[in-house]
A and B are shown apart, each in its own frame.
Chain A
């Protein structure tokens, strides 16, 4: 089937301008407004002094006298920098080791085709479907038995339970798209499996590795239930857990500091995402593909 030169779909270019405005752009802008409003609200609240936050007069969408007090409180009166550091350490280490293990696993399942490889591939997919919220209770008791409770290592070792199935599944798809002939040629030329993996397969699947890496990093950064359950002291907490459990004191909510915490905790993933949008989207759509 021949592809159209333009990426226009159907007959939409025949639509009149006003029709396009009402049927396409207005709903789209409404979606955009609702989807982005919470972020705007985080930003506005972050720089708003308490007096303006707790008054119903005036226009709440704007700030009259912006302040850095909430950010100052967050950085110097809480352990926010430490939570940020913990999150970075845990996310980077867990992502790195999961990716490493996944590359080997995906290569073995997809290319070595050892006996039972198909069933192992299927069980990887099933592992991907096991949600952390049914696993965290027994996992907490495993973590406790191993003496890992309240350590960063507990998180580094448990995050791969959802990272490895995801990355392996994604990389299996990428490895499958590399022609088998390349590998056969190299085998005939006397290369061994390790050389093939490092010199042929990996360079050809760099986009897949980036997709898997970015996605895995984001998943670990955003992880909540394991970090909430396996860690209890404040200096070991990850950022999402720290903000939710430590910044809420009694009935007085420091909305400014809370929103600042939420904003700066979201920024790193948002920045990374903005650089790798295409990889991210291909990772996401790839993960739900067959």
Chain B
């Protein structure tokens, strides 16, 4: 027991927690922007996967880190734009459209991986690059503080900064005001000449941009290769983190850290005799339980039991 506590409370564990949280946090911030605009982005999983793939392939074939990042971000944002185009212009059900994109991402990355490298499992044969860690001078010399603050991956720092940027964007800028207005009452926004379609388009693309950073982190920071379906449900956990955190970036960040640290704890638990499959499913079980409790409290607060008022459904118009 003592040993276990030590494992959980070590600096390594905290570092691992932050590392694991990073992609969830980025995708969850994306989920936040999309949700604020009233268009839930279920395709985060697929967008992360595609960006992870593009990053590895571009860096492997061009040897340029910057090109890899740029292309990873562009393609991820483009995926979100496709989702937006179908959902907003062609009136495809946004959830079905996102499921289609996730299927595309899962199968498409394997297809292109096979076509480019001849391997369907991972990109081991591609000599791809890593986005570096950042050591903050001076602070890294301070004993405990240095361990916590310094030496993380550069995308992790970007993600932390983005919590504040997203919060500022949503609550202090014209764009944020418009996104929230469109999400809460699209007719009101339309009536003052704000294009609902355009605003939602922007929000979805921003969410795609954030998720693509998360994807790049997975294949170029967390590990240094691409493997099939390597996102492993992180896009979905991000949605859960957003649901918990509400329409507030700090709340969403808290939710992301909760899930990230649960996942990190599940790795720490592997040193004990707990089967790998249990520790692996722990984050998902925790997510379900937390979502259940959260929903239960909401039901109790509203006192309504009719299902007809639930928020996500295939034909919300």
A, B: real partners:
no
